[in-house]
Structure 1
Amino acid sequence: MAIRLRTLLGDHPGTAALKSGAIKSDLVEFDFVDYSPTNKGFKPMVREAAFDVSEMAIVTYLMARSFDKPMVLLPDVVMARFQHGHALYNAKRGALTPTDLNGKRVGIRSFTTTTGAWLRGILANDCGVDLNSIDWVTFEDAHVAEFRDTTKRAPAGKPIIQMLVDGELDAVLGEKSDHADLKPLFADVAAEEKAWAAKHKVVPINHMVVVSRALCEKNPDVVREVHRLLAESAKASTAAPRFSADEMRRSLELIIGYTAQQGLIPRAFSVDELFDDVTPALQL
């Protein structure tokens, strides 16, 4: 009899075949839980172990691991993208470039978002921005309750884009908008992304998949099957993220370094450490 797993997976090209039922298993059945957007489910997974299988932002996982949350990372990427297009400024108030951000007031949904960590890493290491000089304004808590957030909180009920339009913020990270006054902080996004990719030879990973430690310890065969099904579902879509083991390692090494540099985790883990909670019987 198949084991039923309470599962949080967003609608991505690589999860479509699994969520539609096109890919099935005699060993596993998924009870999909609907959160919109999917990242709203990350907090209950981290804080309450709400799911057996869950999509998870990689920075949230790194932070959760630093507090020994009972989750195990699987080598399955469900979302990856270049980040340069997710930074905006208000062109009506004058030109602004990444190198102009020192001392500015910058908004971000939460200081701990994965897109934010990637963009801050790019700004600090590729553009020479002093992250400590920036007046960070945030709108939400971290998914990991134990993290001490020292950023300034935006006024309740004031949307981040509206604050940028109204001149209360100089720039925002992690957002896109069609507002006529708002422009990308990186002037030529495609060219910047191409140059960054050539320099670093990685695609930034946003979301991977975790399973509960209890499931891993009690049913390693089930976890192995979950991994197999995720991989099969990804193969069914030409638009799903494609990572070799080396490419995944390089991307993880870079975001681990950025996350440690920004004080979101106490030290930089090795990539191998991210997977070392998996029981010896589980060979992914």
Structure 2
Amino acid sequence: MSRLRLTFACGDYDRTRALAEGTILPDGIDLNYLRLPVEETFFRMMRHREFEVAEMSLSSYVKSLDSGGSPFVALPVYTSRQFRHTGVFVHADAGIERPEDLRGKIVGTPEWQLTAGVWIRGMLADQYGVPVDSVSYRTGGQETPGRIEKAAVDLGGAADLQPISEGETLSGMLADGRIDALQSPRVPSSFVPGGPVRRLFADPVAAEKQYFSETGIFPIMHVVVVRRDVYEANRWVAQSLTKALTLAKQQAMVELYDSSALRFMLPWLIPGLEEARSLLGEDYWSYGLEQNIDTLTTFLRYHHGQGLSRRRLDPEELFAPEALEAFVI
């Protein structure tokens, strides 16, 4: 019996590398693994449905469910998780010393629907008393002019959201003080030692540890989606892919803890891993639904509250049921 040939567009991660290298094979599937930058993968999948399987922004996926007959179905596999306190930058002369000082300021964000932005805005509202509508937002390219939203966003006037002028970049506007702050998953080029741009949180790692101790949330950024036509024709692929991706993550975790020779160029990799396990738990990068109910529920509340979904979804609505069964068999 021939195996199903699927193209999987995803970043180059330790937790998926076994699938890219073919050392772990999903049952019944031959994967053509494309290592692509996340922005390219998201844009091509959202606009053109180019791949049968792809990594996708959690926010973009949830937004796609609003369209009726969603073109994708997700697996409870989280290729990216990251605390985002490091992603808030301010101009040194904007008078922003504390998170609360963001109220009334002009803040850039590359796209309103970015998952990182959803988490940052929600975290600032919940933890620091900065309501989403207390800030004016400007969208556009961070380093290159002309970036637009991957899908249309209509906030109905719930927040002041406007694009920047043609030819401008958010990084440049932050550098010269024409915006007061930037919320972004990427470090802006204007953030340089001794320059006019600094992080909002002087010790973001300490702030992120405190956030986790208070909320128990390790934010989810990306999921893996299967194009719906592929899923409907071969529903078994959801479980097959989920099982293989879970095995790949487990293998990567074992290899990460090999102290004989560091796998990555980070001097304190092993102590850092041990600290993460101590603070966040042994399976801190957990896949599945049950282990992540609180995190997903919080994100869905933020997503709806920020005008990105017409109704507030429940976590159980996000994933293929066959994929969820992969964790109980």
Shorter-chain TM-score above 0.5: yes
Q: Would the aligned equivalents of 1:216 and 1:279 in 2 still touch at CA under 8 Å?
A: no
Match of 1:255 among 290, 299, 307: 299
149, 164, 183: which one aligns with 1:173:
183
Q: Cα distance, 1:85 vs. partner?
A: 0.6
Q: Is the 8 A contact 2:106 2:136 kept in 1?
A: yes
In 1: Cα distance, 2:40 partner to 2:300 partner: 23
Return the offset for 1:112. Answer: 0.7
**Hey, what's the Cα distance between the residues in 2 that align with 1:171 and 1:8?**
32
1:80 aligns with 81
8 Å CA contact 1:90, 1:170 repeated in 2: yes
| Residue 108 of structure 2: aligned partner | 107
For 2:232, what is the secondary structure of its paired residue?
helix
Cα offset, 1:183, TM superposition: 1.4
1:192 paired residue number:
207
Distance 1:128 1:27, change over 3 A: same
| C-alpha contact (below 8 Å) 2:82/2:220 kept by paired residues | yes
Structure 2 counterparts to residues 217-232 of structure 1, below 5 A: 217-232=232-247
Q: Is contact 2:77-2:288 (8 Å) kept?
A: no
Correspondences of 1:57-72 after superposition (within 5 Å): 57-68=57-68, 69-72=70-73
Q: Report if aligned partners of 1:105, 1:136 keep a CA contact under 8 Å in 2.
A: yes
Give the distance between the partners of 1:202 and 1:167, measured in 2 at CA: 33
* Alignment CA distance shift 1:77-1:26 (3 Å): closer
State the AA in 1 paired with 2:166.
A
User: Alpha-carbon deviations, 1:49-101, whole Å to 9, x = none?
Assistant: 22111101111111011113221110111110111011001225544321011
Residue equivalent to 1:22? 23
Indicate the larger mover: 74-83 or 216-225.
216-225
SS at match of 1:66: helix
Match of residue 56 from structure 1: 56
Q: Which of residues 211, 233, 237 is equivalent to 2:226?
A: 211
How do 1:30-179 residues align onto structure 2 when only pairs under 5 Å count?
Answer: 30-35=31-36, 37-68=37-68, 69-139=70-140, 140-145=147-152, 147-148=153-154, 151-174=161-184, 175-177=186-188, 178-179=191-192
What is the deviation of 1:226? 1.3
CA contact (8 A) 1:164 1:172 kept: yes
* Number of equivalences: 280
- CA 1:168–1:56: 2 relative to 1, 3 Å: same
- Cα distance in 2 for partners of 1:216, 1:282 equals 14
Separation in 1, partners of 2:76, 2:92 = 41
> What is the CA distance between 1:199 and its match in structure 2?
1.2
Give the corresponding residue for 2:5. 4
User: How far did 1:120 drift?
Assistant: 0.1
Give percent identity, aligned residues only: 29
Structure 2 equivalent of residue 241 of structure 1: 285
User: In 1, Cα distance between the equivalents of 2:136 and 2:122?
Assistant: 16
Deviation of 1:12 after TM superposition, in Å, equals 1.5
Q: Which amino acid aligns with 1:164?
A: L
Greater length-normalized contact order (CA 8 Å, ≥ 6 residues apart)? 1
Return the letter of the residue paired with 2:230. L
1:201 is aligned to 2:216: yes
Task: Give the secondary-structure state (helix, strand or coil) at the position aligned to 1:237.
Answer: helix
Which runs of no fewer than 5 residues in structure 1 stay unpaired?
none
- Per-residue deviation, residues 215-235 of structure 1 (Å, max 9, x unmatched): 221112223211111111111
Structure 1 vs Structure 2 CA RMSD:
2.2
TM-score by length of 2: 0.79
- Cα distance change of structure 1 residues 250 and 282 upon mapping to structure 2, 3 Å threshold: closer
* Contact 2:19-2:33 within 8 A present in 1 as well: no
